[in-house]
Chains A and B, each alone.
Chain A
């Protein structure tokens, strides 16, 4: 940390500008959502009527119940799968480990609603596997509902648990474990009394990410929940659906969703606050020597989970090259789906490519200075900025989008109907990642380098531009690619905010899901997969897995 003079205006300028941006495009819209939920029809006086109305409806109360159940199930199953996988990767000899690690990170960038859609294509009511099973006489109803949701979340979110836990297993200083054994405890006892307490905070941090991702998710429940109401989906339907235009009711669901994520975050903070662990591992634990059958089991398990998680994406790609007549797939190879997709219009693809680029650039331009201000210049105001910059993490895309629409569809700044509102929503959603990523990069750069530059007569602003940014550039580019990739497949705020000519590939796919265009939808999904995997593969060397872990 640089303790720069109070008179220095540069960090203050960053902080003030960043707070202005976040106030306008994050806090103000959120305030509007709260306002909508607490105001009566005239929009002037305070009322709790919206809440009593929504919470006395068994349908909407059910959506709260379902969302929480979905979050809890996803978290439990994902953690149960992820922790053993992390242990295998950290401590057991697994063949092809580095390839496995790279593949395990893929679900973080692949759009999860595509996985959900693939599951429907395979195991849905008219799914390929379903029909096959039925044909050979095995009764199989379908995958919709909690089962399907849990499966998709487990397969797409497990890296959130695996990577932090893996790092923690590796951070256990081997001498601590050895000390435990030396004091006469058995291997198992040492594991439970020494290793587990050190790893637990990382597991919890990962589990919390899973819970929040799951209950904020719009696309996966939209595809798979079927008749079960889910908060994010119902908020969307109330706001833009056929019944349409009910910001008060949508606001209530949005606020409830925010309260759920905020409570989860607070709970985790409370727990972690009491047991902050830090083991600067001097010696990384070696791989354990185990019996051959156990080794094979571990290899089978690790490769199995990672490959199964990628099956839906392979399936979609294969299906997109099949011939469709209406909703029915025929087992002939064909490029018709892609032709139909592009015949509609190539505009969505262009929109996705250009708008994602704009968002990635803007998110870095805003996120990197914030990361710099909050790591290098600690003060009360920069601590406040840190909290505000992390807020989007606790706000579902659907809710942020609703807030942006309410805030900017009239008045002095009208953004609805244009492309900028999409970019702004994506940028705001990706600020936490960009801030965390740049903070992580900055922790690798000795602050005395910047002090040396200032000491040589270069102002703090010019030092940031001429020294800090060049030193950070590799990591920043990596972060931009990850931002690009995730906003290119962003769905939850996009479907609320797009309009007219500004539909993106995710919107095309979303519309095809609602209709009967399974062929076009799978072609769109394939395009999305290619668009996300290709850039990540290209810059994989630049990216470190812990950055992926921060998505």
Chain B
């Protein structure tokens, strides 16, 4: 078990700053995810830890020990690659035993440890198989077993599920999480899929153009995004900009087009504010229904309804070119029946305001 400390790390390729002055503390036994759009530098940061990319500046430590000066084969990290990187010329056993042989572990012990590792990833009995006889999900399990068997200090996973189909992806992410929990191994997981990140991680770092936007636990990062970028990246949201028009206690009124929104902020009148309102926090009121206490309401026209089974997505026209997205698990038929005019309600405390105080 190892804490990882990434200290002002930069890595440039020519003029591209792939990783730009990143500092992070990953805790012992933590499942830590690097999340961001393609090209934001996640892989590069992971590879600086594994030793496949040199640092342009900064330091990396496992516990107190500085490791960025070590060659990659002496860092004792276990890396799982996006394309599995299973050795095609070796059997499953051969693949899993590969790292042990390099460490000159006695033959009998190798056998036992390989069997244990395969069991851990539910591949007992597959040792004799050749890689080309396995499915994508099985190959990924072999890759994980091959890493775990050498008992690395940290597990590094670079989009390990992106080549699997949707159903398997959901199964595997639970499995990987469970495995990590039971072994209490420190893991850094790279993905561009926010749902994957939210479901698996202890903490998430959102990256953008080589820099960290926000580091926080899944709930916090979703509910209290630090920047508009994080708000949008973590899922569909209404990102709106308006001008402060007044205040009721600690709730500020913000004029957007012809409507007024309410949000927690201390900004003064006339100031411009950007805020995020998640679609699922907005509710349509049934005709005649009163809004819960403390909630704000908006009158709107229903512009579009998209029925997705469990979920229904709505688009409300607020006039003046402003639309409001609403997501609801259970839309009251009555609300839709009124086609045209609807009343939307939201809790101002669920609005995230950026900038301002």
Which residues of A come within 8 Å of B, CB atoms? 2-8, 446, 448-449, 451-460, 462-463, 467, 470-471
Contact = CB atoms under 8 A, between A and B. Distances in A.
Interface residues of B, number: 30
Contacts of A446: 83, 85
B73 A452 contact: no
User: Considering residues B52, B74, B76, B143, which has the most beta carbons from chain A within 10 angstroms of its beta carbon?
Assistant: B52
A312 B238 CA distance: 80
Contacts of A453: 87, 98
Contacts of B52: 2-5, 451, 454
Given A456-B98, A457-B73, 6 more contacts: A3-B47, A448-B82, A451-B79, A452-B79, A452-B81, A455-B77
B103 A5 contact: no
A455 B50 contact: yes
Interface in B38-67: 47, 50-54
B237 to A, nearest CB: 36
A457 B83 contact: no
Contacts, number: 82
Contact of A471 (B69, B74, B89): B89
Contact of A458 (B51, B77, B99): B99
Nearest to B74: A457
Nearest to A452: B85
A117 B85 CA distance: 53
A458 B85 contact: no
- List the 8 closest pairs (A to B, CB-CB), nearest first: A456-B99, A452-B85, A448-B85, A458-B102, A455-B79, A448-B81, A454-B73, A457-B102
Interface in B77-117: 77-79, 81-83, 85, 87-89, 98-99, 102-103
A35 to B, nearest CB: 40
B98 A5 contact: no
Given A3-B47, A5-B54, A471-B89, A455 B73 contact: yes
A458 B81 CA distance: 17
B351 to A, nearest CB: 44
A449 B52 CA distance: 13
A462 B102 contact: yes
Given A4-B52, A448-B85, A452-B81, A458 B71 contact: no
A456 B89 contact: no
29 contacts: A3-B47, A3-B53, A3-B54, A4-B52, A4-B71, A5-B71, A6-B54, A7-B69, A8-B71, A446-B83, A448-B81, A449-B85, A449-B87, A451-B52, A452-B143, A454-B73, A455-B50, A455-B72, A455-B73, A457-B74, A457-B76, A457-B99, A458-B98, A458-B99, A458-B102, A459-B71, A460-B71, A467-B87, A470-B89
Contacts of B143: 452
Nearest to B79: A455
A453 B86 CA distance: 10
Contact of A454 (B69, B72, B78): B72
B254 to A, nearest CB: 48
